Structure 1
Amino acid sequence: MKKLDLTGKDTANIIFQSNGVAIHSDVIEPYNALQTAAFDAGFDMQIASGFRDFERQLKIWNGKYLGMIPIFDDNQIQLDVDTLEPFERIKAILRFSALHSASRHHWGTDFDYYDKSTFDQTLGLKLVSSEYQGDGPFANLHQWLLNNAENFGFHFPYLNHNGGIAEEPWHMSYHPLSSGYLELLESEPKILFDLIINEDIAGKTTILRNFEHILDYYILNVNRVE
Structure 2
Amino acid sequence: MNRNKFIKLTTAAGIGISVLPHMSFSVIQETFTRSELLGKGNPNIVGDTYTSKMQIETAKALKKMAAAAQKDGITIEVVSAYRSFQRQKEIFEGKYQRFTKQGLSPQDALEKIIEYSTIPGTSRHHWGTDIDIIQGNAKRPSSVLQPQHFHGNGPFCKLKDWLKIYANDFGFYEVYTDNPNRKGFKYEPWHFSYAPISKPMLNAYKKLDLKVTLQEEKLLGSEHFTDSFITRYRNENIFDINPKLLS
Q: Report the residue type matching 2:198 in the other structure.
A: S
Aligned with residue 168 of structure 1, among 188, 201, 206: 188
Aligned with residue 202 of structure 1, among 209, 220, 242: 220
Quick one: distance in 2 between partners of 1:19 and 1:61?
Answer: 17
**Displaced runs of 4+ in structure 1, greater than 6 A?**
none
Partner of 1:213: 232
Number of residue pairs aligned between Structure 1 and Structure 2: 211
Quick one: distance in 2 between partners of 1:107 and 1:98?
Answer: 13
Q: CA deviation at 1:199?
A: 1.8
Partner of 2:127: 107
Partner of 2:110: 90
1:49-60 mapped onto 2 (5 Å cutoff): 49-60=80-91
Given that 2:114 and 2:185 are in contact with CA atoms closer than 8 Å, whether structure 1 keeps it comes out as yes
Please give the TM-score of this superposition, normalised by the length of structure 1: 0.87
Partner of 2:70: 39
* Post-superposition CA distance 1:16-75 (Å, at most 9, x none): 1468521111211111110000001110101100000000000000000110xxx7xxxx
Partner of 2:161: 143
Q: Report the residue type matching 1:85 in the other structure.
A: S
Quick one: distance in 2 between partners of 1:169 and 1:152?
Answer: 17
Residues 32-41 or 4-13, more deviating = 4-13
Please give the TM-score of this superposition, normalised by the length of structure 2: 0.80
Partner of 2:33: 2
Given that 2:40 and 2:84 are in contact with CA atoms closer than 8 Å, whether structure 1 keeps it comes out as yes
Gaps of 5+ in 2: 1-31
Given that 1:81 and 1:89 are in contact with CA atoms closer than 8 Å, whether structure 2 keeps it comes out as no
Given that 2:88 and 2:120 are in contact with CA atoms closer than 8 Å, whether structure 1 keeps it comes out as yes
Gaps of 5+ in 1: 72-79
Aligned with residue 152 of structure 2, among 134, 147, 161: 134
Q: Report the residue type matching 1:144 in the other structure.
A: W
Higher-Rg member (1/2): 2
Q: CA deviation at 1:213?
A: 1.4
